[in-house]
Amino acid sequence: MDVCRSIQIINEASSEAIGIKIHTDREVYVKEPIMVFIENTRSKTIKIKPKIPWEICSNEKCLEINQSSVAFRIKKNGYESGKWIVLEPGGAAIWTFWAYPSLKPGDYFVKLSRDAVVVVDGKECSVKALCKFKVLEEEPGLKVESPHLIERKSKFGSINVRGSEIFC
């Protein structure tokens, strides 16, 4: 099946149909860099440009991302060729974006940008791909109330907990 030919009819295809998977390394971030992955999941080579072909958006607007706040590398089966990022089958590109303090707590998504150009098997394609994530102000963490002794023995012998503190 010629994926891009069917795209010319509908003008846009899902990322799965093209073979692009866009995702982040986690679903929740707390004051830490966001890692954006674009992977080639099909058996054809994919070319993408520009150097940052994605954007981070909320329901209100998309963030202005400048080159100085992003580190880029190819994870495997890929390379840079002029203005293009070339991902061979199984290839992946990774961008690390230092978003703090630009992103306030809330729900966000990363998607291919409006100016992203994707070429599959020599044909330009329009691709719709996105991945949702959340930004929090502080770690959700675990609420620990008072600890309870579960077992009195360890591999080192009996444990006497009278008058002792237990750290978890």
> The pTM is what?
0.72
Q: Which domains does the chain have, with CATH numbers?
A: 3-158 (2.60.40.2550)
Instruction: For the beta carbon of residue 67, count every other beta carbon within 10 angstroms.
Output: 10
DSSP output for 81-143:
ETTEEEEEEEEEEEEEE--TTTSPSEEEEEEE-TT-EEEETTEEE-EE-EEEEEE-SS-----
Report how far residue 84's alpha carbon sits from residue 82's, in angstroms, rounded to the nearest whole number: 5
- pLDDT tens digits for range 134-147: 999 876 664 555 55
- pLDDT tens digits for range 42-100: 888 999 999 999 999 998 899 888 888 899 999 889 999 989 999 999 999 999 998 77
